[in-house]
Structure 1
Amino acid sequence: MSGGGAERVVVDLAHGFFDKGLDFDMLLVRKQGPYINQLPPEINLVDLQARHTSSAIFALSRYLRHFRPEVVLSAMNYANVIVLLARGLARVKTRIVVSEHNAFSFWIKNPPNLRTQLMLRGLMRITYPKADTIVAVSRGVADDLARSIGIPRKKLRVIYNPIRLDHILAKTNEAVDHPWFHSDEPPVILSVGRLHPQKDYPNLLQAFSLVRINVKARLVILGEGKERPRLVSLAKELNIAEDVDMPGFVENPYKYMALSKVFVLSSKFEGFGNVLLEAIACGCPVVATDCPSGPREILEVTGVGRLVPVGDPESMAKAILEAMEKGEKKEPNLRPFLLENVVKQYMEVCGL
């Protein structure tokens, strides 16, 4: 349960299923990660005690053979492949619903390792047709997956990621222990996500350097990852280091969103862009790149926010300045993303 967007979605769905009174186990490759303590304490966590997702296949197969659950819902492509292979090994009739959370054709260009890149597409072509249902978290992800691995588009079901609105709003009331978020300080521009090339934070830093020419402001990026040294170096090179802070991963980003002047998603690609929707729910004006896929759909449905081209710091800076000056006057449409509505859709595809 690492600190990514897909993992946060799993936590939210777990709360939704629990609130519906469903009896379920949560299977984890390893029982570790920052989101473990955010799960409902009453649910049963099954630790497969595997070193990697791929090495969990035999433990998972034994679980399926022994407990014979009615349905398994899995998330993210490599886990989906292992679940489908494990069902074959177990020789059980458990219904398998797999969910795809990223634009695969973009993700596969920057895989965790070369082995993954060489093997995953082929394994997905073999296993995904055997799933009882394939869920994509946006129309863009569904279209991309159909093209990438040759699945008929009509076999994919689009279900948007949920937000636990009451939970988010309650979390916005917690105090922020950061000196830049005091009322007498310059406005803060916020971004949240792993420090990873996918998020294109160099583009955001360049845009922020242009914003700084026009107004006094500060930039906070919440998240951790391998790009930290590069981003620290670039901030110094752009002479903005004193107004940029990267505090690392935080369990509650919502209290920061509620106090920020603008939220920015600068990604090269996404599957959905959970943090963008969460920032909207917190009442923060948003700027997002028109990347594949998710941000455009979120802004179209909610009716708020500003889209800019990918990798264009000038356009991003202009949109940030406009958002700082004008704010957001409309009330967003959040109904399609509310947890109770999303859970109903998942229960339907799971046959519950």
Structure 2
Amino acid sequence: MTAPHRLAVLVSFTGDGGVENMITNLLHGFVAEGMEVDLILLKARGGHLERIPPEVRVVRLDVSTSLLALPALVRYLRRVRPTAMLVAKDRASRIALIARRLAGVDTRLVLRMGMHLSGSLAGKSALRRWSRYLPVRRLYPWADRIVTVSEAVADDLSTIGHIPRDRFTVIRNPSIPDDLNTRAATPVDHPWLQPDSTIPVILGVGRLTAQKGFPTLIRAFAKLSQQRTLRLIILGEGPERQALQTLCRKLGIDDQVQLPGFQANPHAWMARASLYVLSSRYEGSPNALVEAMALGTPAVATDCPSGPAEITDHGRIAPLVPVGNPDALAAAMARVLEAPPSGSMLRDAVAAYRVPVSARHYLEVLGYRV
């Protein structure tokens, strides 16, 4: 590629979530392409900070709210004048759009949006929806380009913001790092996942929140476990832990279900599971589903907005079931356990989610020649 140019990436690292993981993966991809990168952190928390490439210059603003970062971001843009800036998350995007106008610079500004906004606000009050929709309509048209993680997210934001659909570019998440197989080969210190264990293990991964629909997975598992001996592991932490444990006791399956909490390396667990299940009510592009498929682990997913339909080729690669339907989920889980697809077919289906492929697409949209 041409000589490196300064690229800025603006984001809040607020924990160990999917966005932090994706941005960290992208940083590695950008560095591998010879880019000079500034990572501007509105907040700096979580384990992914340790994975930032040493070549990346980190600028920590450490503000309590995004709005407080506005003066510092304006000064940065005027002083450094990066060729382009990639911004992730909604609040950071709003501040970046305002800051560029105030700074009066010609930095190319690209937003990265990963959430299906209308899906995440389903059932919320009209005031809550309006407060989230208004910035999209007023500010997002100022961006040079909006990258989304799925076609459905692009369609959703185009409708919400009254923004022409051709202003959006869909780029698959950089979900599959180059060291995925190495991470997957790491031993797992759990008795259910040892080589001599013969009982199939079903795996779910995600924050223990209502979004992830884990009660549906637990009810489906309870139904299926009446027909055969199985175990269920759900990785993640969150406010729903107590409710999920109570549900397991109520269904009489608490000895067959474990919630080990957040795991820094879920890939080792995925590689040893018999089946991965995504039970979400809504998503943007579910990274854990992609990662499991990249490891050749059979999968079942809810047909939620958005992502699973595109990842699974509308159910051809892995079954899709209605959201919140434990009977349909149990039936699909049984079918896949009885006749799992080939690992090579699953891996081929998610090839576009590899870090080098995704990073090059991002650089093209940001205006760099690769």
- TM-score, with structure 2 as normaliser: 0.90
2:367 maps to a residue whose letter is G
Q: Taking every aligned residue pair, what percent have the same amino acid on both sides?
A: 40
Counterpart CA distance in 1 for 2:316 and 2:34 is 33
Match of 2:3 in 1: none
- 1:164 Cα deviation (Å)? 3.2
Instruction: Work out whether 1:211 is the aligned partner of 2:224.
Output: yes
Match of 1:322 in 2: 335
- 1:243 Cα deviation (Å)? 1.4
Instruction: Work out whether 1:125 is the aligned partner of 2:143.
Output: no
- 1:297 Cα deviation (Å)? 0.3
Structure 1 window deviating more from structure 2 (150-159 vs 279-288): it is 150-159
User: RMSD of the TM alignment (CA)?
Assistant: 1.9
Kindly indicate whether the alpha-carbon contact (under 8 Å) linking 2:25 and 2:177 is maintained by their aligned counterparts in 1: no
Instruction: Work out whether 1:349 is the aligned partner of 2:348.
Output: no
Q: 1:77/1:326 Cα in 2 relative to 1: closer, same or farther (>3 Å)?
A: same
Listed as ranges, the gaps of 5+ residues in structure 2 are 1-12
2:169 maps to a residue whose letter is R
Deviation readout 1:313-351 (Å, 9 max, x if unpaired): 011011111111212225232332222221221111100
Instruction: Work out whether 1:176 is the aligned partner of 2:192.
Output: no
Q: Superposition pairs for residues 178-257 of structure 1, below 5 Å?
A: 178-185=190-197, 186-257=199-270
Q: Superposition pairs for residues 274-313 of structure 1, below 5 Å?
A: 274-300=287-313, 304-313=317-326
Deviation readout 1:178-215 (Å, 9 max, x if unpaired): 11112333211001111111111111111111111011
Secondary structure class of the residue paired with 1:166: coil
Q: 1:165/1:28 Cα in 2 relative to 1: closer, same or farther (>3 Å)?
A: closer
Instruction: Work out whether 1:22 is the aligned partner of 2:22.
Output: no
Structure 1 window deviating more from structure 2 (68-77 vs 118-127): it is 118-127
Structure 1 window deviating more from structure 2 (268-277 vs 80-89): it is 80-89
Secondary structure class of the residue paired with 1:214: coil
Secondary structure class of the residue paired with 1:49: coil
- 1:272 Cα deviation (Å)? 0.8
Q: Superposition pairs for residues 147-186 of structure 1, below 5 Å?
A: 147-185=159-197, 186=199
Counterpart CA distance in 2 for 1:110 and 1:231 is 22
Structure 1 window deviating more from structure 2 (143-152 vs 288-297): it is 143-152
- 1:308 Cα deviation (Å)? 1.0
Listed as ranges, the gaps of 5+ residues in structure 1 are none
Match of 1:74 in 2: 87
Residue of 95, 98, 108 corresponding to 2:108: 95
- 1:118 Cα deviation (Å)? 4.8
Residue of 50, 53, 63 corresponding to 1:50: 63
- 1:49 Cα deviation (Å)? 1.4
Secondary structure class of the residue paired with 2:182: helix
Instruction: Work out whether 1:41 is the aligned partner of 2:54.
Output: yes
Kindly indicate whether the alpha-carbon contact (under 8 Å) linking 2:322 and 2:328 is maintained by their aligned counterparts in 1: yes
Counterpart CA distance in 1 for 2:129 and 2:73 is 23
2:211 maps to a residue whose letter is Q
Instruction: Work out whether 1:140 is the aligned partner of 2:152.
Output: yes
Kindly indicate whether the alpha-carbon contact (under 8 Å) linking 2:216 and 2:326 is maintained by their aligned counterparts in 1: yes
Secondary structure class of the residue paired with 1:162: coil
- 1:300 Cα deviation (Å)? 0.9
Kindly indicate whether the alpha-carbon contact (under 8 Å) linking 2:212 and 2:282 is maintained by their aligned counterparts in 1: yes
- Count of equivalent residues: 351
Counterpart CA distance in 1 for 2:38 and 2:262 is 27
Deviation readout 1:204-263 (Å, 9 max, x if unpaired): 111111111011111111111111121111111111111111111111110000000000
Q: 1:69/1:165 Cα in 2 relative to 1: closer, same or farther (>3 Å)?
A: closer
Structure 1 window deviating more from structure 2 (47-56 vs 326-335): it is 326-335
Counterpart CA distance in 2 for 1:342 and 1:5 is 15
Counterpart CA distance in 2 for 1:116 and 1:17 is 36
- 1:281 Cα deviation (Å)? 0.6
Deviation readout 1:269-313 (Å, 9 max, x if unpaired): 111111111000111100000111100100118952111111110
Q: 1:110/1:75 Cα in 2 relative to 1: closer, same or farther (>3 Å)?
A: farther
- 1:114 Cα deviation (Å)? 10
Structure 1 window deviating more from structure 2 (7-16 vs 330-339): it is 330-339
Kindly indicate whether the alpha-carbon contact (under 8 Å) linking 2:218 and 2:248 is maintained by their aligned counterparts in 1: yes
Structure 1 window deviating more from structure 2 (72-81 vs 257-266): it is 72-81
1:350 maps to a residue whose letter is L
